[in-house]
Structure 1
Amino acid sequence: MNTIDSDDELNLSNKIVKKRSNSIESELENEKIDNFDEKCHMYNLGDLQLEGDNVILGNKTKKENKELTEIFNKIKLNLYDKTVTIDTILSLKNISEIDKVKLVEKYCIMKNNEDNLEEYIKYRDILKEEVTKIQTMTEEDIKNKEKMDFIIKKLESLNKETFDLKAKIIKFNIDDQYKSLLYDKYKLLDEMKEKDVEYFKLKNWILQVLNIPFNKSIELNISNTNDFLKNIKIKLDTELYGMKNVKEELMLQIINRFIKKRKSELIPSLVGAAGIGKTKIIHVMAESLNIPFYHISLGGIKDGSYLDGFSNTYIGSRQGIIVDALIKMGCNNGIIFFDEIDKISESIEGIEVVNQLIHILDHTQNNIFYDKYISEIPIDLSNIWFICSLNNIDLINPILKNRLYIVDVEGYGILQKIEIGQNIVIPKKLKEYNLDNLVFFENIVIEHIIGKSKKNDTGVREFKRNIDKICKRLDILRTSINVDGTYGILDWSFKIENLKFPLKMTIKHIDILLKDVISGSNDSMFL
């Protein structure tokens, strides 16, 4: 067999590749291949085949095929030398991290095609062209590319957002006629330009509607009636001191509404002095039922739009507090608690609020409620459990009063407050400030704290605030006191000399800790 010199070998290698694939002809067009026809005749390359990494010519010996395989491997090495490396990609500066990742992906595709020269060369050339282009970019090119990338990213984001909006509308749990209305609004939005003011108004409107739980309810687990009622009573007794009549009335309301499935025509309304815990009562009841609770204070409200929203024809308009409550609760059968309904403004505008409230609470018509912001879609409020609170029944509008079922909440006397403090309030606050088992209160000290609360106060709100202030300041003193019992430069106005824990509270301690609280008031500072 004829031998092949190194130059002929390289030429033959290149020609083999050319014979194998036309995709690299451009690489070899400047190559001078001497005696190529002779070499082709000698090896009869028309019969060349590849099996894995081996070159096979059926009419040649194993030795000749081995020689051809070695030549072919040199061809691949020659190809690899012209390939962009991973280090080159990672070192590029005029490119974002996302674009680097895309180049790395192409690099990996190229590497995975090492056994397929045609695909390998294709991706190698694409990669080399892109990298070269990036390496030779001018500052102006970079700025233009950044602008274009931003535009493309924004368009992709908008397209995805619009698609997601369409999917949400299709899946949205609402009556078909209103789903059709939403879809028409979506199509109108899709035809608008983003810079259009109406675009954002309409988009926000659609998103807000999609947040409303029109047909979404929470199912209570009442498989065992006795266990259901027992757990509620335990929760009420644990969280609320005394109030036996109130808790009993609430239990009756729960039985009628959730077990007997009878909705009362009248709205349960707690009547009692400020600070007596009316809001706490309903909050605990909602927790015991495991249903959402939303608190709406009506004190001083004089605009009916607070309840039923503002027309969406105005820039900055929005839905009212009722829709806010539904969105926050995430269901259409939670508890909405109207607090201080006797303190609605007595102005002409306040009458509008009262009229709105009467409509909302009326079970014969509240299955169709229109928020002015979402005026095209009615909202069913008939499954909401509305509960009210007030201080003075005599201040209530007569028509509204006829809608209410009054539940009297009696205030607490001194002895009851002492028990509430000793058994509920103080243990909770001590635990909150990590002072449990470190600070102790006797009844006479608790009575002194009560005396520093508001005069004639039958509630416990101010009493709780004073307990919180005491525990907070004790925690500060414990944290800042030195080993020798001094406070250094921290000259607290409420410091207790020679403070040591465990600590048995005295009246003197209380007077120091609450020195800025005048007896019968709680007008103090932050600490």
Structure 2
Amino acid sequence: MVEEIDTTEIKDELPLLVLRGLVVFPHMVIPLLVGRDKSVEALEEAMVEDRLILLAAQKDETVEEPETEEIYDMGTVAQVKQLVKLPDGTIKILVEGLKRAKIDEFLQEDPYFKIRLQEIEPEEKESKELEALMRSLVNRFEEYVKLNQKLPPETMMTVANVEDPGRLVDVMVSHMSLKVDQEQEILQAVSYKERLKQLYKLLDEEIEVLEVKDKINSEVREQVEKRQKEYYLKEQLKAIKKELGQDEEMSDEIEEYRTKIEEADLPEEVEEKALKEVDRLTRMPPMANEGVVVRNYLDCILDLPWNEKSQDRLVLDDAEEILERDHYGLEDVKDRILEYLAVRKLTDEMKSPILCLVGPPGVGKTSLGKSLAEAIGREFVRLSLGGLKDEAEIRGHRRTYVGSRPGRIINAIRDAGTNNPLFLLDEVDKIQSDFRGDPAAALLEVLDPEQNDTFTDHYLELPFDLSDVIFITTANVTHTIPGPLQDRMEVIEIAGYTEEDKVKIAQEHLLPKQIENHGLSEDQINVSENAIRKLIRNYTRESGVRNLERKLAGVCRKVAKEVVKGKERLSRVTVQNVDSYLGIEKFNYGEVDEESQVGVATGLAWTKSGGDILKIEVSVVPGKGKLLLTGKLGDVMKESGQAALSYARSKIEEFELEEDFHENYDIHIHVPKGAIPKDGPSAGITITTAIISALSGRKVNSKVAMTGEITLRGRVLPVGGVESKVLAAHRAGIETVIMSEENEKNLDEVPDNIKRDLEFKFVEHMDEVTDTALLKEE
């Protein structure tokens, strides 16, 4: 327990705690949070002495560190009853106000305020006038308590028996919600008479505000009661009419629904279902929640294009012109699309195959869908499936609650306005599944031509014919697409663009588009072909052209800034000054041009962004025969490293290796760019070449890149992604590409100009790889 302080023994020098937005009165017990440095110091000084401290408010509560002139000179001496230090460094205290005191002099300002105080005690004696003022104030406060709903009736108990006029005022103020300046005025008042009069005036103002507020609340309450009464009387009137046999006419809303259903020319099953729902609506109370569900359902049925079709415009020459206009290259994909259109022109009964465009980001998969829609004259609808987990997003929610809605397939058809749009399902390889179902399984019905003529959405509960819809899907990879779903689609691979393709695309499509988007004209900016080539080589590394377009946009922004600043002459972007527009180069084009080295081989890898080259480094150091693999490699690449080492041990005599190298040396295999996960069966021959090079001391030709897996007997196995890997080799400046003989057939996918620039070595055995890749000893 904290000792009670004898208020007659209060020292005239005390630390000062400055309050922000708060005034403490005598006899008030209140918790405070202390966080400012000076306040904490003052509090610690008070705790060392006799727990006494002066509490005074600052004039402007927005000031963080008030000066002496910004502090009210009248405050309250208080005793710290409790103190608790909080984890965030602030201190929570419980203080009790003891008596008024005036700041006579500031003795110090740092590290805390210390003042000399002067106690303020009125010298008035009891009088009839004081007693009358106190009684009037108590009566007025009782009215205030009755009007203020925040104060309990028991509040009057705390003031009813207070006989001291000063204490009466202090207790009343502690129960009122006053502004800081109003409270400070009462605290500043010295005489009892002045305090009582000031508080009486404030009570009058507060009571007047509360009476106006109570009047407004009463008027609002009367209006609500009036509406409820009208509703009750209307319901009574309906019941009386029904008893008298006077049927009420169908409401305008119900009649409107019936008219719309009759004029909509809906299929027989759909019309029957809709009219049944209208009948249900007539038997429901107007404000029932179920009525909202029925209205939304009827609106959905009437909004769907049950019989609205787009007429196909199947002119192959026009379609070919549109595809050539919007996309450069991609000849195989364009041919397949034109074949598809030709077959549709010859037969209307053909079930539409589902085309799946697979390729890295930025190669134009989505825009191909838009071009196809324009070519055949159909509405274009795009739905992104990336990250979709809930099966209800495809099939819809059942109509069991107010927030239910149809699935995204039906919603998209409704937005299209026709029942045969071209429907693009984007990112089909990124569908996920959890406890809410498997959206990929739900798509099986949507994409199956044998089933989707009666696709039933859970919300709609009616079959909707999707057989005339042309579905096209896009994906970055195929291995993450579920097997049954992939089985329903015809996969068309889009490997990426060659450097020449990118140059043409930039000149004919991307640059004119960005010049227009940035408010420029061809008289203000000129980007040379060699500058574009440098952008492709040194500022982007991708199979598509998305980053290339961003870099061209960056150049246009810089030129736009120059134009706004007043530059009038043509801005020429050349190889020499392109770095002044885009900063330092991001990539080292042709890094394979470095000197051939021992233990460093170049492999070809496939990534989600297309093909890439991969350096594999091998270091041989004295040790105990350990094999160390680093570079964030997956299990398949680790196994390739072990198989490569076993093969190298079988070639000790051929490459004149030390017989016991596997016991006396540690072999460290490292693939740089360690932050990027790497895995796959394509690095076997590359790892083997690097190991043999490191053990034999023979250099690996830096102009040679390879891809393929190896068996323990040295046989070279075929791999996938040949087109992407060859494009990456050409992009990096490789001269010779080694791959399995079984991959020769895959070169048909590679553009002819790329094949002319590269030399291909098709091998069956690892011996052929080392003959080509390892340089002869000097």
Maintained 8 Å contact 1:344/1:350: no
Aligned to 1:467: 552
SS of 1:214 mapped into structure 2: coil
The letter for the 1-side match of 2:300 is Q
Matches of 1:177 and 1:343 in 2, distance apart?
37
CA distance in 2, matches of 1:507, 1:329: 47
User: Does structure 2 conserve the Cα–Cα contact (< 8 Å) formed by 1:194 and 1:200?
Assistant: no
Q: What are the residue-to-residue correspondences of 1:17-416 with 2, within 5 Å?
A: 161-221=253-313, 228-264=315-351, 266-345=353-432, 347-348=433-434, 352-375=438-461, 377-416=462-501
Change (3 A) 1:309 1:454: farther
Paired amino acid for 1:168: K
Is 1:511 aligned with 2:579? yes
| Distance in 1 separating the partners of 2:570 and 2:514 | 16
Q: What letter matches 2:379 in structure 1? A: P
Q: Which runs of no fewer than 5 residues in structure 1 stay unpaired?
A: 1-139, 152-157, 223-227, 483-498, 521-527
Corresponding residue to 1:429 among 475, 489, 514 = 514
Residues 461 and 322 of structure 1, relative CA distance in 2, 3 Å threshold: same
Report the AA paired with residue 200 of structure 1: V
Match of 2:534 in 1: 448
Instruction: Give secondary structure in 2 for the equivalent of 1:374.
Output: coil
Shift of 1:238: 0.8
Q: TM-score, normalised by structure 1?
A: 0.60
C-alpha contact 1:265 1:403 (8 A) present in aligned 2: no
SS of match in other structure, 1:359: helix
How far off is 1:425 after superposition? 1.0
Contact 1:430–1:436 under 8 Å retained in 2: yes
State the one-letter code of the partner of 1:471: C
CA separation in 1, counterparts of 2:557 and 2:258? Answer: 52
Deviation track 1:404-438 (CA, whole Å, cap 9, x = no partner) reads: 11212131122211111011111122123332222
* Maintained 8 Å contact 2:290/2:402: no
CA contact (8 A) 1:243 1:410 kept: no
Amino acid at match of 2:582: L
Larger radius of gyration: 2
Q: In structure 2, how many angstroms separate the alpha carbons of the residues matched to 1:519 and 1:408? A: 27
Change (3 A) 1:461 1:191: same
Counterparts in 2 of 1:460 and 1:344: CA distance versus 1, 3 Å = same
- Relative to structure 1, the CA distance from residue 327 to residue 503 in structure 2 (aligned partners, 3 Å threshold; closer, same or farther) is same
Q: Is the 8 Å Cα contact of residues 232 and 285 (structure 1) preserved in structure 2? A: yes
How far did residue 349 of structure 1 move?
A: 5.0
Structure with greater helix share of residues: 1
Q: Secondary structure at the match of 2:454?
A: coil
The alignment covers a number of residue pairs equal to: 345
**Using the alignment, how far apart are the partners of 1:449 and 1:193 within structure 2?**
68
Structure 1 counterpart of 2:335, one-letter code: E
Cα RMSD (Å): 2.9
Letter of the 1:217 partner, please give it: K
Q: How far apart, CA to CA, are the structure 2 residues paired with 1:427 and 1:295?
A: 26
Distance, in Å, in 1 between the alignment partners of 2:476 and 2:585 is: 26
**Could you tell me whether the CA contact under 8 Å between 1:338 and 1:388 is conserved in 2?**
yes
Tell me, yes or no, if the aligned pair for 2:313 and 2:375 is still in contact at 8 Å: no
Contact 2:363 2:544 in 1 (8 A): yes
Q: Secondary structure of 1:336's match?
A: strand
Give me the whole-angstrom Cα distance separating, in 1, the residues matched to 2:281 and 2:351: 44
- The CA distance in 2 between the partners of 1:379 and 1:373, in whole Å, is 12
Secondary structure in 2 matching 1:295: strand
CA 350–316 in structure 1, closer or farther in 2 if over 3 Å, else same: closer
Which ranges of 4 or more aligned residues in structure 1 deviate by more than 6 Å? none
Residue pair 1:439, 1:501 contacting (<8 A) in 2 also: no
Provide the rounded CA distance (Å) in 1 between the counterparts of 2:404 and 2:577.
54
Task: Tell me which of the two structures has the higher relative contact order, counting C-alpha pairs closer than 8 angstroms and 6 or more residues apart.
Answer: 1
CA distance in 1, matches of 2:526, 2:324: 24
Identify which range, 364-373 or 184-193, moves more after superposition: 184-193
| 1:317/1:373 contact within 8 Å kept | yes
Q: Structure 2 unaligned runs (5+)?
A: 1-218, 231-249, 589-778
Structure 1 position 218, deviation (Å): 1.2
Higher mean displacement: 264-273 or 383-392: 264-273
CA contact (8 A) 2:352 2:470 kept: no
Aligned position for 1:501: 569
Aligned-partner Cα distance in 2 for 1:450–1:470 = 13
Q: Structure 2: how far apart are the matches of 1:383 and 1:311?
A: 26
Deviation of 1:325 (Å): 1.4
Q: Which amino acid aligns with 1:269?
A: C
Cα gap change, 1:414 to 1:185, in 2 (>3 Å): same
DSSP-derived class of the 1:393 partner: coil
- Normalised by the size of structure 2, how large is the TM-score? 0.42
Shift of the 359–349 alpha-carbon distance from structure 1 to 2, 3 Å rule, reads: farther
Q: What amino acid is aligned across from residue 368 of structure 1 in structure 2?
A: T
